[in-house]
Every structure is written in structure tokens, then in C-alpha cells.
Structure 1
Amino acid sequence: MPAHKLASHHVVLKGPNLVKEIFYGISLGLMAGGIWKTYHWNQQRKTREFYELLDRGEISVVHEEE
């Protein structure tokens, strides 16, 4: 193929699609927020379980001397 025909088949690069970028940003933000909230709910559950056990007397934070 002659060089002048190859040059006419080059790929034209477009700029970023603003709507698509906003959609990707919102999606990533919601996923990260969901993971963060799940982590916090797990921490709250662990803390709540600890204090429930402490209130029932099943565990103690005082070291028992032997």
C-alpha cells in the first residue's frame, strides 16, 4: 500500500466524554462508600457485642490474679 493511503486510516482520538466520566466517578464513589459503611457496621457490631458480654458478666476487663 502506498504511504499516502496508510495515513488516511489513522485513528482519531476524542476527548473524554463528560457524562461517562461523571457516571464512572459516581459509581466508584458509591462502591467505596458502601465498602466503608460495611466496615463501620462490622466495627459497631463487634463493639456492641463486647459491651453486651461485659454487661451480662460473661467477660471481664479486670485481670484475675491467681
Structure 2
Amino acid sequence: MAGSRVAHVAYKGPSVMKEILIGIALGMVAGGVWKMHHWNNQRRTKEFYDMLEKDEISVVVNEE
């Protein structure tokens, strides 16, 4: 088995473009999740006020 060599790749350091693209992708995903969260809250608030206007719900506690 003399003479069997394994080619090793030398570490060249971080790839700046790869890290920038990964950062942009992660930022877009996080921004999308955050935006969906805000759209959901906005939808809930709108539904609440619509139901309040139609007198389907009330914020006043009924005393018996």
C-alpha cells in the first residue's frame, strides 16, 4: 500500500459571496415570517372591529 495518496483540499477561508447570499436568503425568510405575523394580527384586529360594529360581540360585561 505504499504510494496511496489522498488528495486533501486546502482551506481557503470563508467565501464572501456565499456568506452574503446566505445572509440575504435568511433575511428574506425571516422578513417574510415577520410580515405574515403582522398580516395575521392585522386580520384579527379587523375581524374584531367588524364584529363589534355588527353587534355580534361586546366589550361590556353583562351583569346578571
TM range (shorter): 0.7 to 0.9
Unaligned runs of 5+ in 1: none
TM-score, L = length of structure 1: 0.84
Unaligned stretches of 5+ residues in structure 2: none
Structure-2-length-normalised TM-score: 0.86
Letter of the 2:11 counterpart:
L
Paired residue secondary structure (1:32): helix
Instruction: Indicate the percent of aligned positions where both proteins have the same amino acid.
Output: 56
Greater per-residue helix proportion: 1
Structure 1 stretches of 4+ with a deviation exceeding 4 A read: none
- Could you report, residue by residue, the CA deviation over 1:15-56 in whole angstroms, capped at 9, with x for unpaired residues? 111111110000000000000000000000000000000011
Aligned partner of 1:48 in structure 2 is 46
Q: How many correspondences in the alignment?
A: 64
Root-mean-square deviation (Å) = 1.7
